[in-house]
Structure 1
């Protein structure tokens, strides 16, 4: 029935024709809205799809004369940057700019090229989405109570599974998820402690449906509870990008994204970050021994990511590569970030007693947060004073300056309070130090492990850049193999192993009815390593990301290292830029060779390479 109605829909045929000619299917919702002269005002975030689906779809009629019988379904889908949802209400020039930004991001994110997505069948995709929202899907769905999972006990839940003798005892989180998928399949219910249940998702089809229906204000209120507790006690209850929800989160995201997401803004930081990358390479040259060996390169990588994100945040260098005592504050910051993430992971395995008294884990967390807060506030104050001095000096254009560091843009934003400015800067500063360093650690390990690819990457760098000294963003974007190498690294070693969401509506996932409000955990790292979704999944093959590659990613949601949609990683482009420039500067000067035969992935809230990472540098 759904297929018949879709085929008969004049509006959908018109939209599909546009899609075939110009853009990929993920902009279907945008095109429907943009084709109309007005957009129906409807809050879809609280729609119960079962109510929509209790009878056959009826034609939707609005002032523009739209007759698409599945308009209500597409109305309920969300495809990324929230501005795009209002394409029908913007001018053509604004719409073109927004579309271009969204398409640029999609090209960098999606596993398929545009042509391949169109060839995969627009009708098949539309039918699939419609089928998931059909009345039969909800009518035939198995109940939530029947979702398989590890055994639970009254009152205790499933906490006994983690004790000696329990099925999960002694296993890392990575080992736990591999076991639960093998034992129970692509959807698994888990109650790690009393009163908290989450649904583990291992199917990219389910992941797609969750992301498509999350709305413009996605909910992610299922972890970082200690950070929320800290914000209540020490930041007047103002939450940051990681812990804020709904309108509060949207205000923060909107307030900062224009200063760190658009490609043209990222380009303004390119040469500054390149100088940091050069200093990083110089530092490695100083610390290697007479045979070129660095016993553990990870601390130096963390110093690089710290120095680079400090430049982005505060428009200044903090001297992370120096040997003097003034660098101790930087060391304290990096160590505190490690502690924060360690405690955030332990939080997932413990009953949240910190809400009632300061547990040992929470005390460690609070001390680390106080350290990072103190250092962050210090640099915010310095930036404020520097900005006031510029105004007093009458420097022309100080208020209109584009590249003046993230902090200056935030402190001149009258819509943000001091607490909001602090928590935004804190989240970006701490997040930028940790995740980027893990990403670069995996990249350097694989460069050293695969000398053939290392040489191909270096040849591309030398061939494309010639003898150019200072680079711009277009130079970096031209390095297709460099970018493919990083993508393949993140497929094998996703720094963020999972994405968490609270469902905005009832959904049928893997045949089970999962109610609105349920916590779902999408395990991207398992999906991206599964042969069912990625050909030759265990092999490291950067060429799979190049056009005309023979080995493909078979599902567009099989590769999501930065998440998807409005709540995807805010610092993605900046992190990638830092890694690209580090690769460029390092390979121009040195050959990397491997000394670690195997590596171990640490147990934590992010995937991290366990030190030491030994690298040998041979001058070119």
Structure 2
């Protein structure tokens, strides 16, 4: 990533204390200013700065004429708008509600708390439309957590979140996640031996690991993604290709004029076709898992799988559970793959950080030969700091949004009901006033003593925030911790090419091949 510099030696204690006091003073003054703005007479939303707006087409014309605007570089455009107009900007695009983008963590915190009871998300409307108009009525007019709001969303969310977010439930899958990561380490060693570095399509290998990992949880069985002889036309490989096509098509449809709401455009038809193909394969796998579970002998000693527990949950229908599993398979491939790829890249670029992480892994695991345990994960303090810092410097998700259900004052402006509010967390993560040495990769900042000063809890949000926080967060974190522990235990990673550049496909991705080199440590 251009502008990401090497980590410097940690500052002396007196300098850290000075930074801490300065940051605390700045944060306190921002809180006071924000509180004063919310209590004083607000300004109308029409006065919010932003790109020039025109009748009927809003800011769309200004956007497409801007040299920094491109569908696959939308994160660059938004960053330039924030730099030009400040911590709150207004955007208006036809067929969408007006939107404000905010980058003040105090305003973000107040906004999340204000909307905690009923967080209405700006959903993937094209996805929802496809599921609502499904000719076979597969979804029974209930389109799932990704696309629902209000009572229907909360009906499902309130019943599944204990199974998805409770540590005890997720840790049950640690042994199989660890086994998958160990097998993938062998795959890395084989590729290194064969090519002398990772091939240009190494990200596809990461996708295989990710689908195998999330499949072990969602479907409670192995899919065979890591078989070195897996056929290109096999179901797992087709699923991965379809997920990639879904993300690409969603960008083409959602980051455009929404005329597909009036009639099916070619991009919308392609998205619908891809969704139908993915649904067909995923549903087949879900039915196979159901059949295998039903064929098992009842046992009081056996722990229920995630799918079994959800199917037995009062208030959830089979189709509720099937839709959740489907979305886990769809959303669990790109996100963790890209997050870990960025972490590997940053570790390769900062060998002193990599060395410290390897030392922690060696200390925690020692001569342990068995699978990773929850006790091991609990001791990986620096590893968790590396993950947090990586997701701050190069996040896979740039922002999240909410729709206002009533008028609210944000940054001194009265935002009308029905407007969309986008929290641009990517920009906050690189804000020097929030993160001293913001362009550097310094995992130490996340350690308990906070050597670079306190960190605002809403200054970065890679999994969203509040009640609509990503339902798969605990699963994704456990996958990442397990993967990094095993790769650092066995290899030293290097990257000898140009800095990566990011492209936007709903999640951020590297535009350049991730041709890492992995050297065996022992």
TM-score, structure 1 as length reference:
0.75
**Counterpart selection for 1:478 from 371, 379, 390:** 379
| 1:256 aligned to which of 160, 172, 182 | 160
Q: Is residue 175 of structure 2 the alignment partner of residue 283 of structure 1? A: no
Residue 494 of structure 1 is matched in structure 2 by: 395
Structure 1 residues 155 and 291 mapped into 2: Cα distance closer, same or farther (>3 Å)?
closer
Q: Secondary structure at the match of 2:315?
A: coil
Cα deviation for residue 553 of structure 1 reads 4.7
Q: CA deviation at 1:603?
A: 2.0
Which residue among 216, 241, 245 is the counterpart of 2:149? 245
Structure 2 residue 85 is matched with structure 1 residue 184? yes
Alignment of 1:274 onto 2:178? yes
CA offset digits 1:95-120 (Å, max 9, x no partner) = xxxxxxxxxxxxxxxxxxxxx99x96
Equivalents in 2 of 1:267, 1:198: separation in Å?
A: 39
Instruction: Choose 368-377 or 415-424, whichever is displaced more.
Output: 415-424
Q: Deviations over 1:131-152 (max 9, x none)?
A: 74x8x84552111111112112
Q: Which moved more, 1:367-376 or 1:154-163?
A: 154-163
Moved over 6 A (4+): 124-127
- How many Å apart are 1:125 and its aligned residue? 10
Summarize the Cα distance change of 1:462–1:127 in structure 2 as closer, same or farther, 3 Å threshold. closer
Cα shift at 1:467: 1.5
Question: Paired residue for 1:421, among 313, 321, 327?
Answer: 321
| Structure 2 equivalent of residue 213 of structure 1 | 114
Partner residue, 1:588: 489
Q: What residue in structure 2 maps to residue 369 of structure 1?
A: 275
1:316 is matched with 221
Residue 195 to residue 224, structure 1, CA distance change in 2 (3 Å): closer
Which residue of 2 is the match for residue 358 of structure 1? Answer: 264
**Does the Cα contact within 8 Å between 2:69 and 2:77 map onto a contact in 1?**
no
Residues 594 and 614 of structure 1 are in contact (CA less than 8 Å); yes or no, is this contact kept in structure 2? yes
The structure that has the greater radius of gyration is 1
Alignment RMSD: 2.5
The equivalent of 2:499 in structure 1 is: 598
**Is 1:439 aligned to 2:339, yes or no?**
yes
Give the Cα–Cα distance (whole angstroms) in 1 for the partners of residues 43 and 215 of structure 2.
50
| Alpha-carbon separation, structure 2, partners of 1:303 and 1:611 | 19
2:474 pairs, out of 552, 573, 576, with: 573
1:68-107 matches, within 5 Å, as: none
Task: Name the counterpart of 2:211.
Answer: 306
- CA separation of 1:454/1:386 partners in 2, compared to 1, >3 Å: closer, same or farther? same
Counterpart of 1:396? 299
> Per-residue deviation at 1:253?
1.1
Give, in whole Å, the separation in 2 of the partners of 1:201 and 1:254.
28
Aligned to 1:539: 440
Query: 1:419/1:290 Cα in 2 relative to 1: closer, same or farther (>3 Å)?
Result: closer
Instruction: Decide whether the 8 Å contact of 2:402 with 2:422 is kept in 1.
Output: yes
> Is 1:520 matched with 2:421?
yes
Q: 1:127 to 1:343 in 2, by over 3 A?
A: closer
1:460 deviates by 0.6
Q: C-alpha distance in 2, partners of 1:508/1:156?
A: 25
* TM-score for the superposition, normalised by structure 2: 0.89
Rounded Cα–Cα distance in structure 2 between residues aligned with 1:464 and 1:403: 30
Q: Which among 121, 129, 132 is matched to residue 229 of structure 1?
A: 129
Residue aligning to 2:45 = 144
Cα distance in 1 for partners of 2:51, 2:123 equals 21
Conserved 8 A contact 1:496-1:606: yes
Q: Which residue of 2 aligns with 1:613?
A: 514
Shift of 1:503: 2.0
Contact kept in structure 2, 1:594 and 1:616, CA below 8 Å: yes
- 1:259-289 Cα shifts (integer Å, max 9, x gaps): 2211111211111100010111111122224
Greater RCO, 1 or 2 (C-alpha within 8 Å, sep 6+): 2
**Which stretches in structure 2 are left out of the alignment for 5+ residues?**
1-19
Runs of 5+ in structure 1 lacking a partner? Answer: 1-115
- Distance in 2 of aligned mates of 1:467 and 1:403: 32
The whole-number CA distance in structure 1 between the counterparts of 2:281 and 2:381 is 38
Equivalent in 510, 527, 530 of residue 411 of structure 2: 510
Taking the TM superposition and a 5 Å limit, the aligned residue runs for 1:380-395 are: 380-390=286-296, 393=297, 395=298
Distance 1:167 1:441 in 2: 29
Give the whole-Å Cα distance in 2 for the aligned partners of 1:385 and 1:169. Answer: 49
1:242 deviates by 1.1
Alpha-carbon deviation of 1:324? 3.1
- For 2:234 and 2:145, the matched residues in 1 are separated by 28
Query: Hey, what's the Cα distance between the residues in 1 that align with 2:62 and 2:97?
Result: 15
Question: Aligned partners of 1:192 and 1:168: how far apart in 2?
Answer: 17
Match of 2:361 in 1: 461
CA contact (8 A) 1:159 1:192 kept: yes
**1:294 counterpart = 2:198:** yes
CA distance in 1, matches of 2:512, 2:318: 38
* Number of the residue aligned with 2:312: 412
Cα deviation digits, residues 12-60 of structure 1 (max 9, x gap): xxxxxxxxxxxxxxxxxxxxxxxxxxxxxxxxxxxxxxxxxxxxxxxxx
Q: 1:367 to 1:195 in 2, by over 3 A?
A: closer
- The CA deviation string for residues 364-397 of structure 1, in whole angstroms up to 9 with x for no partner, is 211221122112211221122112212xx3x322
After TM superposition, give the deviation of residue 188 of structure 1 in Å.
Answer: 0.6
Distance in 2 (alpha carbons) for counterparts of 1:512 and 1:367: 42
Displacement of 1:327: 6.4
